[in-house]
Chains A and B, each alone.
Chain A
Amino acid sequence: MAVFSADERQLLHDSVNAFLRENYGFERWKRLARGAEMEGFGRTEWARYAELGWLGVALPEWAGGAGGGMTELGIVMAAAGRHMVLEPLLGTIVLGARAIEEAGTETQRETLLALIATGRLILAFCHAEPGGGYARDYVHTIARQEGGAFIVDGEKSFALGAHAADTLIVSARLSSQAGPLGLFLVPRVAAGVRLNVAPALDGRAGATVSFAGAKLALNARIGDGDEDRLAMIDRLIDRGAIAACAEACGAMAAVTEATIEYLKTRQQFGQPLAKFQVLQHRLVDMSVSGEEARAIVHAALQALDDEAPHAQRAVWAAKVQTARAARFVGGQAIQLHGGMGMTDELAIGHYYKRLTLCETLLGDGEFYLKRLGAAAAACAVA
């Protein structure tokens, strides 16, 4: 897979962070997250990301993309975490775009990928279902082919960004509960499609989606065969999980820096809090946790780009480590800020919430630890 050179990556990292630093401060964040229109993100911002090439960073060049890989996506997601970007990057450029690129028909790829790169198509990934938790194969939504259409019935759990997506990427079993898993492009606004829009913990929004006899054209299916897409969905979720880790890495770096600065200036007992050894060690632990996560996430991104045989386990291990780090760093950021960390007026609490979401998005640490354990046991038996 074509990827950027080290210099190009550095340039991408610097330019994304510089843009967000200048244009996406906490005040702007508050206005977008709490905006009257309840979208919880900025359409203007989205258009700018398209112009800057971020939305197509991992799309093929023929679709107007930059031809980058997971590492490049990781760089964008880390910056998004650092600046608490609200726009639906995960659902659109990490999950949705990849589903279309990997499984779509030629027509779907040719029409949709360019729309994504130019910011004219927002996607949300609707796979998990209420009884399934983090399980990846738990799909009871059914798509029955009736004449020249698919009829969809079922229910999907809360998906970030679903409230504002143009198109939902929906998994459903073909014909029956025992049928193969397919993916469908479902317009958000359509007969038989009902959304329950709600805020997520971190200020972003999303929706649960239910389908009651929703009628889709035959070409709404991603790809045109009946093959089972479970393995592909599994890889897709791995991409999402590592992107959430990258996001957490950016958020951890930002909140650790803010905490160090605060302890250097906050005077108690006649000196800055940063002079207390017990607090110095805590800051060290926060920094080291962030570094560990950054290192293991980088390694997993590289493994995915290299299509290394251990890539999947590298992602799972990264999610376990990052989830732990996110919980510790986010919690300590509040603890060391004291009451200040508990207010809605400061960014610290919002970073905590963002990290809590990153920790659980597409599977928490405990979930991946179990998967790693099961995989190791299977290896031992084989």
Chain B
Amino acid sequence: MFIHAMQHNRELDTFRAEVRAFCTREIPPQVARKQARGQHLEKDEYDAWLKRLGARGWLTGKWPKEHGGLGWSPEQFLAFQEELGRSGAPPLVSFGPTMAGPVIYTFGTPQQKTKYLGDIISNNTWWCQGYSEPGAGSDLAGLKTRAVREGNQYVVNGQKIWTSMAHWADMMFALVRTDPNAKKQEGISFLLIDMKSPGITVRPIIGITLGHHLNEVFFENVQVPVENRIGEENKGWTYAKFLLANERVGNVDVAKLEAYLRQIRSLLEATKEGGKALAEDPAFQRRLAEHEVGLATVKALMADQLAAAKANGAPSLMGAAALKLRGTELVQAILQTGIDALGRHGMVYQSAALHAGWNGELIGPQESADVLYEHLYRRAATIYGGSSEVQKNIIAKGALGL
């Protein structure tokens, strides 16, 4: 369909007002304070907020009603994200609601649905993603972490890497090799692993941000019950791909893009050249306008994919890849504009200011450390969730038949 009916919808306006009012009322003061200062949240702070959203069912509002969701339309989900961002709420976390949840309700057993979905809806469990390995990056299907079946357990040995927030996670959804002799996509299974299992070691990786976000996860004879396998043994690649398509859509957060744009605007107001704000410089105004066009485009691509996911159970291969490609390019372009302003303050990186309790004296505008952190962190946007090169291969092979 070429034209979407995007008519102005009174129900949607009511919903937006409800979300705004909720945020004003429910964002814990400590969280609001840190958000306003661009400081990082501790797990319990983040958790307290997400649980409040979870109590309304809003973390999983776009899930179908039969699985405990609210059956939101794509427009409603986008409106929700936008209002959260505009209210200064912390960004949503996609590992449970966008990644694990849909795999479980689409391919899981009734027991698995009962066991896991409720805790995702209420944010009682934090999830992490066990996909990448030292030898399996772009070539994800080359993964080697081995799961050997012994009775009603799998014994898992191997290593995952670049595991975001594994140090906070209760559960991991992981790809493991169950048949080393099959063709590489055909010997993979999809397991749900309790992070408290004996034999799991999480080792932090300090990023170029100087922050701790990434981890290595080691498995040494970790026992995982067979009932924790999603779908059939050796068919894990099918579920993995389904999840990847959702991840591509989930990797683009329009609320975050809007929030970055607001930050950059404020940075350009606060940064002067020869006494005059950069916000008045036609070259910067033009760049902001370019970003607005980019944002409108990405939002439109996003609406398409949310609609496709609702209609067909999954986003389209090409659409999700295109959205991931352009959405992550846009995030980097917006933050680059911020960096261009920050050069005028000497490119100071007071990363300690991102943590509560810092009482140093900030150099440059208030956003400085946060924008630099995000700039560095989002260098990975065109790497994580399948690099831009991989997305282009997917489109070339899968959609264009090349």
A133 and B271 in contact, given A279-B389, A339-B161 (Cβ under 8 angstroms): yes
Which segment of A47-55, A74-82, A290-298, A351-359 sits at the interface?
A351-359
Contacts of B208 in A (CB 8 A): 334, 341-344, 349-350, 352-353
- Given the complex of chains A and B, what is the CA–CA distance between A137 and B349 in angstroms? 26
- Given the complex of chains A and B, what is the CA–CA distance between A131 and B269 in angstroms? 11
Asked if A132 contacts B272 (CB within 8 A), the reply is yes
Which segment of A6-14, A167-175, A194-202 sits at the interface?
A194-202
In-complex Cβ contact of B207 among A159, A200, A278, A343 (8 A): A343
Which has the most chain B C-beta neighbours within 10 Å: A133, A158, A267, A359? A133
Closest to A132 in B: B274
Asked if A268 contacts B132 (CB within 8 A), the reply is no
Asked if A138 contacts B137 (CB within 8 A), the reply is no
Q: Which of A81-137 contact B (CB under 8 A)?
A: 128, 130-135, 137
Asked if A201 contacts B272 (CB within 8 A), the reply is no
Asked if B347 contacts A356 (CB within 8 A), the reply is yes
Asked if A200 contacts B387 (CB within 8 A), the reply is no
- Given the complex of chains A and B, what is the CA–CA distance between A201 and B208 in angstroms? 10
Asked if A200 contacts B347 (CB within 8 A), the reply is yes
A200 and B274 in contact, given A268-B138, A342-B214 (Cβ under 8 angstroms): no
Q: Is A206 an interface residue (CB 8 A)?
A: yes
Q: Which of B342-375 contact A (CB under 8 A)?
A: 342-351, 360-361, 363-364, 372
Asked if A267 contacts B135 (CB within 8 A), the reply is yes
Q: Which of A192-233 contact B (CB under 8 A)?
A: 196, 198-202, 206, 208
- Given the complex of chains A and B, what is the CA–CA distance between A335 and B208 in angstroms? 13
Contacts of A133 in B (CB 8 A): 271-274, 278, 344
Closest to B349 in A: A201
Contacts of B273 in A (CB 8 A): 132-135
Asked if B137 contacts A198 (CB within 8 A), the reply is no
Nearest CB in chain A: distance from B284 CB, A:
9
Q: Is B142 an interface residue (CB 8 A)?
A: yes
Asked if B205 contacts A352 (CB within 8 A), the reply is no
- Given the complex of chains A and B, what is the CA–CA distance between A364 and B349 in angstroms? 18
Closest to A369 in B: B283
In-complex Cβ contact of A158 among B274, B278, B363 (8 A): B363
Asked if A339 contacts B214 (CB within 8 A), the reply is yes
What 0/1 readout, one digit per residue, does chain B (202-230) give for beta carbons within 8 Å of chain A? 00011110100010000000000000000
Q: Is B139 an interface residue (CB 8 A)?
A: yes
A366 and B383 in contact, given A267-B135, A268-B139, A342-B208 (Cβ under 8 angstroms): no
A343 and B206 in contact, given A132-B273, A269-B139 (Cβ under 8 angstroms): yes
In-complex Cβ contact of B387 among A201, A206, A335, A366 (8 A): A335
Asked if A198 contacts B214 (CB within 8 A), the reply is no
In-complex Cβ contact of B142 among A196, A269, A370 (8 A): A269
Q: Is B110 an interface residue (CB 8 A)?
A: no
Nearest CB in chain B: distance from A180 CB, A:
18
Asked if B205 contacts A343 (CB within 8 A), the reply is yes
- Given the complex of chains A and B, what is the CA–CA distance between A327 and B283 in angstroms? 19
Contacts of B210 in A (CB 8 A): 344
- Given the complex of chains A and B, what is the CA–CA distance between A356 and B372 in angstroms? 11
Q: Which of B374-402 contact A (CB under 8 A)?
A: 376, 379-380, 382-384, 387-389, 392
In-complex Cβ contact of B274 among A138, A273, A338, A341 (8 A): A138
What 0/1 readout, one digit per residue, does chain B (312-352) give for beta carbons within 8 Å of chain A? 00000000000000000000000010011011111111110
Q: Which of B254-304 contact A (CB under 8 A)?
A: 271-275, 278, 283
- Given the complex of chains A and B, what is the CA–CA distance between A202 and B339 in angstroms? 13
Asked if B283 contacts A345 (CB within 8 A), the reply is no
- Given the complex of chains A and B, what is the CA–CA distance between A215 and B195 in angstroms? 63
Q: Is A360 an interface residue (CB 8 A)?
A: yes
Contacts of B379 in A (CB 8 A): 331, 334-335, 341-342, 352
Q: Is A157 an interface residue (CB 8 A)?
A: yes
Contacts of A350 in B (CB 8 A): 208
Asked if A158 contacts B139 (CB within 8 A), the reply is no
Asked if B272 contacts A131 (CB within 8 A), the reply is yes
Nearest CB in chain B: distance from A140 CB, A:
9
What 0/1 readout, one digit per residue, does chain A (347-382) give for beta carbons within 8 Å of chain B? 001101100110111001010001000000000000
In-complex Cβ contact of B383 among A199, A278, A339, A357 (8 A): A339
What 0/1 readout, one digit per residue, does chain A (286-328) give for beta carbons within 8 Å of chain B? 0000000000000000000000000000000000000000010
- Given the complex of chains A and B, what is the CA–CA distance between A160 and B343 in angstroms? 12
Nearest CB in chain A: distance from B317 CB, A:
19
In-complex Cβ contact of A339 among B162, B343, B347 (8 A): B162
A138 and B275 in contact, given A267-B135, A269-B142, A344-B210 (Cβ under 8 angstroms): yes
Nearest CB in chain A: distance from B198 CB, A:
27
- Given the complex of chains A and B, what is the CA–CA distance between A10 and B334 in angstroms? 43
Contacts of A135 in B (CB 8 A): 273-275
Contacts of B380 in A (CB 8 A): 339, 342
- Given the complex of chains A and B, what is the CA–CA distance between A133 and B363 in angstroms? 14
- Given the complex of chains A and B, what is the CA–CA distance between A84 and B384 in angstroms? 28
Asked if A131 contacts B275 (CB within 8 A), the reply is yes
Contacts of B336 in A (CB 8 A): 327
Nearest CB in chain A: distance from B159 CB, A:
13
A364 and B207 in contact, given A196-B363, A338-B137 (Cβ under 8 angstroms): no
Asked if B372 contacts A345 (CB within 8 A), the reply is no
- Given the complex of chains A and B, what is the CA–CA distance between A208 and B340 in angstroms? 19
Closest to A340 in B: B137
Contacts of A200 in B (CB 8 A): 346-349
Contacts of A338 in B (CB 8 A): 137-138, 383, 387
- Given the complex of chains A and B, what is the CA–CA distance between A137 and B273 in angstroms? 11
- Given the complex of chains A and B, what is the CA–CA distance between A198 and B361 in angstroms? 9
Asked if A199 contacts B350 (CB within 8 A), the reply is yes
Contacts of A349 in B (CB 8 A): 207-208, 376
- Given the complex of chains A and B, what is the CA–CA distance between A273 and B382 in angstroms? 17
Nearest CB in chain B: distance from A182 CB, A:
20
Contacts of B278 in A (CB 8 A): 133
Asked if A342 contacts B137 (CB within 8 A), the reply is no
Which has the most chain B C-beta neighbours within 10 Å: A138, A157, A269, A360? A360
Which has the most chain A C-beta neighbours within 10 Å: B205, B274, B350, B387? B274
In-complex Cβ contact of A342 among B345, B351, B383 (8 A): B383
Hey, which bits of chain B sit against chain A, CB under 8 A? 132, 135, 137-139, 142, 161-162, 205-208, 210, 214, 271-275, 278, 283, 336, 339-340, 342-351, 360-361, 363-364, 372, 376, 379-380, 382-384, 387-389, 392
28 residue pairs bridging A and B, Cβ less than 8 Å apart? A132-B275, A138-B274, A159-B346, A198-B348, A198-B349, A198-B350, A198-B360, A200-B346, A200-B349, A206-B348, A208-B363, A268-B138, A268-B139, A278-B392, A334-B383, A338-B137, A339-B132, A341-B383, A342-B383, A343-B205, A344-B210, A349-B207, A359-B343, A360-B339, A360-B342, A360-B344, A360-B347, A364-B340
User: Sorted from nearest, which 8 A-B pairs have the closest CB atoms?
Assistant: A360-B343, A158-B346, A133-B273, A349-B208, A135-B274, A268-B139, A133-B344, A344-B206
Inter-chain pairs besides A200-B348, A366-B340, 18 sampled, C-beta below 8 Å: A158-B364, A159-B346, A196-B363, A198-B363, A202-B347, A268-B137, A278-B389, A334-B383, A341-B379, A342-B383, A344-B207, A350-B208, A353-B376, A357-B347, A360-B342, A361-B343, A364-B343, A370-B283
